[in-house]
Amino acid sequence: MTAFGRWEEIEHLISAAIELGKDERSGFVQHACDGDAELYREVSSLLGAHEESGPLDHLANELFNTDSSHSRGVHSMSGRTVGHYGVLERLGGGGMGVVYEARDLRLDRPVALKFLTPGLSADPDAKERFLIEAQSAAVLDHPNICTIYEVGELTTGSSSSPCPDIRARR
Amino acid sequence: MHQQGDITSLLSDFTHGERDLLDELFPRVYDELRQIASRRLRHERSDHTLNTTALVHEAWLEMAGFGRIEIESRAHFFAIAARAMRRVLVDYAVRQKALKRGGGDRKVPLEEVQILADEDGEDLLSLDAALERLGAIKERHARIVECRFFGGMSIEETAEVIGVSPATIKREWSMARAWLNRELSS
C-alpha cells in the first residue's frame, strides 16, 4: 500500500525518474531513497506500474478504442509498436498531426512521435506539407525546437494506408 | 437507476462555490450524455466502444451551442461532463450486471442492454471503486483521472479545467495512472 503520508515525496521521485532513461532509473531511485527501504519499495513498485501497460490502459482501449477500423477514423496509436518505437500516450494534436509520447526501444530514450492526422494520410498535399515541415525543422538546431531524428511512412493494419510520421526528441 | 443521493455524494468533493452549478447541471448533462451514447451505440451495435471525447463535445454543442444551458465557463462544463460520463458508464455496468443475474425488475430499453462487454463492465466497476479510494486520498488526482479517462481530455485541457499548470497535471496523472494500474492488478 502507498504510504499516503508520503504521497508528494513519492510522486516527485517518480516524476523525476520518468524523465531519465530506463537504465538510469533504478540507480536514481536507489540513490534518492538513501536507504529508506519503505520509500524505495513504493517508488520502485509504482515506477514498474508506470512503465507497463496495465488494467486502466486496457480498459481505456476496450471502452474508448478508436482504432483504424473505426468509422470515426480517429485512430489511437497508444500501446502499439511502430518500427523500433513503443508508442505511449497521446500528448496532443491539431488539425494536421497527432503527437504521442513514445520510447525509442533501441536507444532506450524518450521521443515524441508525430503522425499525420489519419484523415489526411490519403491527401498528397497534406503529406507534402507534413514532410516540408519535418525537413524545415530538421535543418534547425535550437533548444526550443525539436530535433528531428527520422521521418518516414508506415503501413497501418490491413488498410495499408501510408501515414508519414516524424520522430523527434522531446 | 440514478439516485439523487448518488449525485450529491459524487459532487461532494467539488468546492462550495461550484456546488450550485453542479447540482443544477449534473443531472441534465448526465441525461444528455446518456441519450447521445444510446443513439451512437444503436447505430454502431457491433462495436461496443465509445469515443468519450466526441460524446462530451457533442453534449457541449447540443446544450451550450443551442442555448439549452447557460454556462459561463466551458471548462466548468467539461469538468461536469467528465464526471457525468463516468456515472453514465458505471450505471450501464451496474444495470448490465443486475440483468445478467436475472434481477432486472424493470423494463430496460433494448439499446441499453449490451452497451459494454461483460468483462469491461466488471473492470469498470473495479475502476470506479479504486477511483473512490484514490479520491479519498487525493481528491485532485481522482478528478484528473475523470477528465483524462472519462472526459477524453488532453493534459492541456485537463489543466484548464482543474486550474493548475500542465506540468502539475502531467506529474499527478503519471502517479494516478501508476497507482490505479497497480491497485487494479492486485
Q: What is the predicted ipTM?
A: 0.74
Q: What are the helix (H) ranges across B44-109?
A: 52-60, 74-100
Q: What is the distance between the alpha carbons of residues A137 and B12, in angstroms, rounded to a whole number?
A: 48
Percent of chain B with pLDDT over 70: 68
Q: Which of A55-59, A143-147, B17-21, B68-72 has the lowest mean pLDDT?
A: B17-21
Q: Is pLDDT of A23 > 60?
A: yes
Burial label for A108, CB within 10 Å (0-12, 13-18, 19+), is exposed
| Least confident stretch, A104-113, B38-47, B112-121 | B38-47
What mean pLDDT is predicted for residues A152-162?
50
pLDDT tens, position by position, A104-121: 888 888 888 888 776 666
> B143 or B24, which is more confident?
B143
How high is the pLDDT of residue B182? 95
Question: Given this model, what pLDDT does residue B138 score?
Answer: 94
Q: What is the pLDDT of residue A62?
A: 73
Q: Pick the most confident of A59-73, B59-73, B153-167.
A: B153-167
C-alpha cell at B25: 447541471
Contact A15 B149 (CB under 8 A): no
Report the predicted TM-score, pTM, of the whole model to 2 decimal places: 0.62
Mean pLDDT within A40-64: 87
Sign of CA dihedral B7, B12, B13, B18: positive
Among B6, B174, B185, CA closest to B90: B6
What phi and psi values does residue B74 have, to the nearest 5 degrees?
A: -65, -40
Name the 3-class secondary structure at A98: strand
Name residue A93's beta-bridge partners.
A98
> What pLDDT shows up at residue B19?
62
In chain A the first and final C-alpha atoms are separated, in Å, by: 33
CA-nearest of A80, A90, A29 to A53 is A80
Q: Is the pLDDT of residue B10 over 80?
A: no
Cell 441519450, residue?
Answer: B35
pLDDT at res. B72:
64
- A110/B82 Cα distance (integer angstroms): 30
d(CA B117, CA B125): 13
8 Å CB contact of A50 and B178: yes
pLDDT bracket for residue B46 (50, 70, 90): very low
A58 inside 8 A of chain B by CB: yes
Across the interface, whether the CB atoms of A54 and B152 are under 8 A apart is answered no
Whether B133 has a pLDDT exceeding 60, the answer reads: yes
Most A-contacting residue of B56, B122, B155, B175 (CB-CB within 10 A), to test interface:
B175
Residues of A in Cβ contact (< 8 Å) with B82: none
In A52-169, where does DSSP find H-type helix? Answer: 55-64, 124-138
Residues 5-34 of A with CB under 8 A from B: 7, 10-12, 14-15, 18
CA distance A154 to chain B (A): 25
The pLDDT value recorded for residue A18 is 92
Half-sphere exposure of B42 (CA within 13 A, CB side): 10
A125 band by pLDDT with thresholds 50, 70 and 90:
confident
Alpha helices in A34-123 (DSSP H): 37-51, 55-64
Mutate to test the interface with B, among A13, A61, A63 (most CBs of B within 10 A): A63
Asked whether the predicted pLDDT for residue A163 surpasses 50, the reply is: no
pLDDT at position A97:
73
Query: What pLDDT shows up at residue A153?
Result: 74
| Nine-digit cell string for A101 | 509520447
Q: Do B50 and A63 touch (CB under 8 A)?
A: yes
- Compute the distance between CA of residue B167 and CA of residue A76 in angstroms, rounded to an integer: 23
Chain-chain contact of A56 with B177 (C-beta, under 8 angstroms): yes
B78, amino acid identity: F
Q: A16 exposed, middle or buried (CB, 10 Å; 0-12, 13-18, 19+)?
A: middle
pLDDT reported for residue B71: 66
> What's the order of all strands across the beta sheet hosting A109-116?
A81-82, A85-93, A97-104, A109-116, A161-169, A148-156
Is the minimum CB–CB distance between A47 and chain B shorter than 8 Å?
Answer: yes
Q: What is the pLDDT of residue A158?
A: 32
Cβ of A151: how many Cβ atoms within 10 Å?
18
pLDDT on residue B112:
52
| Range from A41-45, A158-162, B32-36, B99-103 that averages highest in pLDDT | A41-45
Per-residue pLDDT at A11: 95
**Could you give the CA distance from residue B6 to residue A117 in angstroms, rounded to a whole number?**
40
Q: What is the mean pLDDT of residues B40-54?
A: 60
What 3-state DSSP class applies to A155? strand
